[in-house]
A and B are shown apart, each in its own frame.
Chain A
Amino acid sequence: MALFEAKNVTKQYGTQLALDNVSISVPEKCIFGLLGPNGAGKTTLIRIINQITGPDSGELFLEGKKLKPDDVLRIGYLPEERGLYKKMKVGEQALYFAQLKGLTKAEAMKRLRYWFNKLDIAEWWGKKVEELSKGMQQKVQFITTVLHEPKLIIFDEPFTGFDPVNTNIIKNEILFLREMGSTIIFSTHNMESVEELCDNITLINKAKTILEGNVDDIRRQWAANEYEIVFEGNAALPEQEKINILKRHDENGRTRIRFRIRDGIDTNDVLGNALVSGRIISFNPALPSMNEIFIRVVESRN
């Protein structure tokens, strides 16, 4: 069963259509990528899910039931544009956000202590936010997003402002949250992390859904008979009518060639020809990166 569903959501600001009949379905315990270029309507959809604004038409369901105002307590949201009160102390502020999410002070304190220790920022509890580095502020915000143990967590560009070490820590925390039973909507432009983390995606462009489904399925769909072969030393695939060479480059004494096999041609044929060309190190179907797919899909629509 889908933990969260949006059905035929449309939203208009003045004359501008922000969402045009968009539907998403987020399975339980899934990391769901909400992708799209700037201004596609992602933030609008996220705001509708958070009930910050209402849709003009369409319906939203959380655990099969229509979304109601109290459900904000079961959703955690880390917005892309996020901030903290600069003059306020870190601990006080975390407590404030926790209370706004309906936690009692005692309960919030208990959980905050756990998370502050876990993310190694406990000694900053009494400091003012303006004394913290960007990364540490982001950690505080991450904590306030997940503290009330929401069923559904929405991360909008969660890795900005983190160095690689902390990015990894947060990545692991996100995976851990899924283990613990949360469902995650993940919005980003960083396609590498989409490949790494997301199970399903929806790609929105100009207010419309243009691509959706399981990440692996999508990559396979878009693979379209592309392969990559790596030779030791300098080598070349014989030009033949069977294949179509897309890319070739030499690196560290190896030759990497990407090609597409024409329709109806068997891979073994191609491989047989390749065997005589040189010493093969690897031969793989080349799955296009999400980045490539993203660019191709969006550009084909524009």
Chain B
Amino acid sequence: MMNKVSVIIKREYLTRVRKKSFIIMTILAPLLMALLIVVPTLLMMNQEQDYKKIAVIEDGTDLFRGKIGNTKNLEFVYLEGIRISDLKNSFEQAGYYGILYISPEIITTPNAIQLLSKKQPPIGMLEHIEKSLEKEIEKQKLKAYDIEDLDEIMKNVETRVSIQTIKIDDSGNVKETSTGVAMALAYIGGFLMYMLVFMFGAQVMRGVIEEKTSRVVEVIVSSVKPVQLMMGKIIGIALVGLTQFLIWVFLTIAIAGSLKSTVLQKSDLQELSRDAARSLMAEETRVQTATSIPETDTRISEFGKLFETAMNQPWGLIIISFIFYFITGYLLYASIFAAIGSAVDNETETQQFMLPVTIPIILGLMVAMGTMQNPESQLSLWCSIIPLTSPIVMIARIPFGVPYWQLALSMGLMVVTFAAFVWMAAKIYRTGILMYGKKTSWKEMWKWLRYSG
């Protein structure tokens, strides 16, 4: 009998994995994601590597001469006695990337400054100019107060704040943590759980409807028990999901790896522009990049710290819990979806049943997102224990730390509930798949639950 279920699992798995749409989704999705991140980054880096000369024209004043520092690929040339109208049409021929025009009102009107260029200037360049000017203007303004030893005071006053969060667990162990990392993990984990459960649960439903409307099911149930067919389908699709997930993980690692090497080749590390670094943050590479970069840039050394605190997360617990909640949560919802699929004659009829099923999932997702802001809230606590929402919410809570008794209670309830749901779904499914042309209601399904063999 087990043999038959494995035949069914094999079919469910192979027909889906061989589909063009599956192959495209599986391979293209991470590539597209990577392209979205890599291409702008590379573009920006290439742009910034070009050496650019910028003409600076101050109208009447001479406040900023030499105050905007040159960088490796930016040179600021101060032109005197030239008006902007003289250069406006010929700056490119003269070898300038653009003209920076500073009007005398700059001290009082901060936007009295213009950058003329033929192309959209990179953000890094603009930030560099803005920062330099801001600093200079501040200085000028402070000077107006006539304070003695201003420079020294300023040097003493300059500070950078960065909070170190340290978590003490029950046994008094101290761990450096990062709320940012926990939030990111909560977000990714919760959302991934929601997507996987919903996407593949809905696939189960569609599969059941396909079998029912095409009447294949009539043929199959003469060879296998309906429960075997249902479980075969649910397990087969779970394996499809797992395959896709694993391929995504591997592809992401591979892409991240190659990205890292290109990034490292393309630029020497110190001038890894802020923007590039910021976009990289979204990618997994940040971890690798961070570790291999000498801590010259403060921002980059922050990645190092981030990496350290990321490593301090209870990864084992997170991964095991994720797998546990994925399996039980998927089984729970997939069996509900299978029961719904069996009760209807076509996909449009599913809507009346979908709403009550979607509500707990969406609620779970919303509470999970709220958990990121306030991990200790009562709502999060209860939603992470109640089985219908717990897979999503608990996964979002774990990075912030969850007492073991809560985890155990939640998991225990989950096991009991999923078993009960699979059992009930099987009963509904058994009757539903052979029932045609009848508008099914919840009441009707309740009746099926109580039919004997």
Contacts and interface: CB of A to CB of B under 8 A. Distances in A.
Central interface residue in B3, B211, B215, B219, by most chain A CB within 10 Å? B219
Given A54-B453, A96-B7, A85 B214 contact: yes
Interface string B421-453: 000000000000010100000000001000111
A82 B223 contact: no
B15 A82 contact: no
Contacts of A165: none
B219 A83 contact: yes
B148 to A, nearest CB: 85
Interface residues of A, number: 31
A248 interface: no
B160 to A, nearest CB: 61
19 contacts: A14-B447, A52-B221, A52-B434, A54-B452, A54-B453, A69-B1, A72-B222, A73-B223, A77-B219, A79-B219, A81-B436, A83-B214, A83-B216, A85-B15, A85-B210, A85-B211, A88-B15, A100-B220, A102-B3
Contacts of A167: none
Contacts of A88: 15
Contacts of A69: 1
Contact of A53 (B7, B210, B219, B453): B453
Given A83-B214, A88-B15, A96-B11, A56 B222 contact: no
A100 B4 contact: yes
Interface in A89-104: 96-97, 99-102
A141 B222 contact: no
Nearest to A52: B221
B8 interface: yes
Given A47-B434, A52-B434, A101-B223, A81 B218 contact: yes
Contacts of A75: 222
B218 A82 contact: yes
A82 B211 CA distance: 10
A69 B211 CA distance: 23
Contacts of B15: 85, 87-88
A255 B11 CA distance: 64
Given A13-B451, A52-B434, A96-B7, A85 B223 contact: no
Nearest to A100: B223
B224 interface: yes
Given A79-B215, A82-B219, 8 more contacts: A50-B221, A53-B434, A79-B222, A82-B215, A84-B219, A96-B11, A97-B219, A99-B4
